[in-house]
Amino acid sequence: MRSSLFLTLALTACGLEVTDEASAPVATAQDALNPGASVAAMHASAAKVAGRWARRFPLATTRSIFVAVDVSGASPGGHVVELTFVQPGGLPWQVQTVSFQATGSGGKHAAPERVWVELPVVGTWIEQYALTGRWTVEAAVDHGRSSSLTFILE
């Protein structure tokens, strides 16, 4: 039996909040080809607090950017989330893989499992070389279809 996975990406950063409008779910051509998993919502925040979402982060005051991945519909047991951070020039910057244990029932309406991943900014080449612009985060659960989210580091 194939369970469906719903993936939500959320961004947070430690630093000064810069707000932006909330975004609606984004459907892609890949969603039509592989209906098993889908993106429920994508958000960004300037604090590691759910509900304070933004899409822009000032380089001067952002210590780290945290990505929250909400996975719904995962069957109980071990799973893997892989995040690829893509820098403004389009080249991959960093890939992080996080294992997590789903504890819910795995149903479509079960509470989502949240996984946090940190992208350090202060003291890294991102800060040193002022790698500002539109960044993309691609996330895949259990090596399945990927979903993406963009944010701006300015």
Confidence of residue 50 (pLDDT cuts 50, 70, 90): low
pTM comes to: 0.74
Confidence of residue 121 (pLDDT cuts 50, 70, 90): very high
Determine contact, residues 21/50, Cβ cutoff 8 Å.
no
| pLDDT at residue 55, as a whole number | 87
The segment with the largest mean pLDDT, out of 43-52, 67-76, 85-94, is 85-94
Determine contact, residues 62/12, Cβ cutoff 8 Å.
no
12/147 Cα distance (integer angstroms): 17
| pLDDT at residue 30, as a whole number | 37
The segment with the largest mean pLDDT, out of 6-10, 31-35, 85-89, 119-123, is 85-89
Query: Which range is least confidently modeled, 4-8, 33-37, 88-92?
Result: 33-37
What are the chain's domains? 5-153 (2.60.40.2550)
Helix (H, G, I), strand (E, B) or coil at 125: helix
Confidence of residue 74 (pLDDT cuts 50, 70, 90): confident
- Give me the mean pLDDT over the 42-47 stretch: 55
SS3 labels along 14-67: ECCCECCCCCCCCCCHHHHHCCCEEEEEEEEECCCCCCCECCEECCCCCCEEEE
